[in-house]
């Protein structure tokens, strides 16, 4: 069975400081992994994805994530936070395209606050 | 491309009334998903379609909920009768089946309030 755990429900950083949002997954096979971002009262936007290519994945808005199989982690980072980064972030795992299984497994989300 | 289009953006209705949410997927996408988001339960997959056929509706909470996809460019989610506990944001998403591993594109959602 697959699962995904976002280790922090809330993260607060100061503008200009690094961002680290942590995600661990459990999967019996090599999954696809995603980070989605949801700004207040907005829809969900794909930030970046890992699909068994390079383990360091670069996404939009300066975010990146590193897939570490040995640690079953897929943490999201950004060197310098911007006020516009304040949002809810979701770590997501996808099973391989086997049969009719199309269900993404969603983490509960991490709320990122950026202080001036 | 205009992306996934959902309507209405906001819906306020009285308990017992019928509610219909609408979704237009991205042209060419053949997989469509309906999600519900609440503070208590987070994001829940309600149902998904592949080539207009419902594949898995195990997430539909009860018989009051129904979803249809009469053609490749339109889907509806209906709640009848609506109850206050149905209040949530409902998202529609679409994808190419062959590219499911690359993620979905979500609509902006419909915020439903049942009073």
Nearest CA to B67 out of B36, B98, B97, B39 is that of: B36
pLDDT by residue for chain A (116 residues), tens digit each?
778 999 999 999 999 999 999 999 987 777 888 999 999 878 889 899 887 778 899 999 999 999 998 899 999 999 999 999 999 999 998 866 544 456 778 898 999 999 99
Q: Taking CB atoms and an 8 Å cutoff, what residues of chain B touch A97?
A: 97-98, 100-101
Question: In degrees to the nearest 10, what's the CA dihedral of B80, B83, B87, B92?
Answer: -20
> Nearest CA to CA, how far is B50 from chain A (Å)?
9
- What's B25's DSSP letter? P
Q: Are B42 and A46 within 8 A, CB to CB?
A: no
Q: Taking CB atoms and an 8 Å cutoff, what residues of chain B touch A87?
A: none
Residue-wise pLDDT tens digits, B73-98: 999 999 999 999 999 999 999 988 76
Query: Distance of alpha carbon B72 from its chain centroid, rounded?
Result: 14
> Which run of H or of E encompasses A11?
strand A10-14
Q: Are A103 and B44 in contact (CB under 8 A)?
A: no
Question: Residues of B at the A interface (Cβ-Cβ below 8 Å)?
Answer: 31, 33, 42-43, 45, 48, 50, 55-56, 91, 93, 97-98, 100-109, 111
Question: In angstroms, rounded to a whole number, what is the distance separating the alpha carbons of residues B108 and B8?
Answer: 10
User: What is the structure's pLDDT at B102?
Assistant: 66
> Nearest CA to CA, how far is A81 from chain B (Å)?
25
Q: Are A45 and B104 within 8 A, CB to CB?
A: no
Question: In angstroms, rounded to a whole number, what is the distance separating the alpha carbons of residues A111 and A39?
Answer: 10
User: What is the structure's pLDDT at A96?
Assistant: 62
User: What is the structure's pLDDT at A65?
Assistant: 97
Is the per-residue pLDDT at B31 higher than 60? Answer: yes
């Amino acid at each position: 069975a697959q699962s995904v755990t976002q280790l922090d429900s809330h993260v607060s950083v100061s503008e200009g400081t690094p961002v680290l949002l942590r995600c661990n997954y459990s999967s019996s096979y090599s999954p696809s992994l995603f980070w989605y971002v949801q700004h207040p009262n907005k829809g969900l936007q794909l930030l970046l994805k890992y699909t068994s290519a390079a383990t360091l994945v670069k996404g939009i808005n300066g975010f990146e994530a590193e897939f570490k199989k040995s640690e079953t982690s897929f943490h999201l980072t950004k060197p310098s936070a911007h006020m516009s980064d304040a949002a809810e972030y979701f770590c997501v795992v996808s099973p391989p395209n086997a049969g009719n299984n199309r269900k993404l497994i969603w983490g509960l989300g991490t709320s990122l606050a950026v202080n001036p | 491309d205009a992306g996934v289009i959902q309507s209405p953006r906001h819906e306020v209705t009285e308990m017992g009334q019928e509610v219909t949410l609408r979704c237009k997927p991205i042209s060419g996408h053949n997989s469509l998903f309906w999600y519900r988001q609440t503070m208590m339960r987070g994001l829940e997959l309600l149902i998904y379609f592949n080539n207009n056929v419902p594949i898995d509706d195990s997430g539909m909470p009860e018989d009051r909920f129904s979803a249809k996809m009469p053609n490749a460019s339109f889907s509806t989610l209906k709640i009848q009768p609506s109850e206050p506990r149905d209040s949530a944001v409902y998202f529609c998403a679409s994808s190419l089946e062959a590219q499911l591993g690359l993620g979905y594109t979500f609509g902006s959602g419909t915020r439903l309030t049942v009073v």
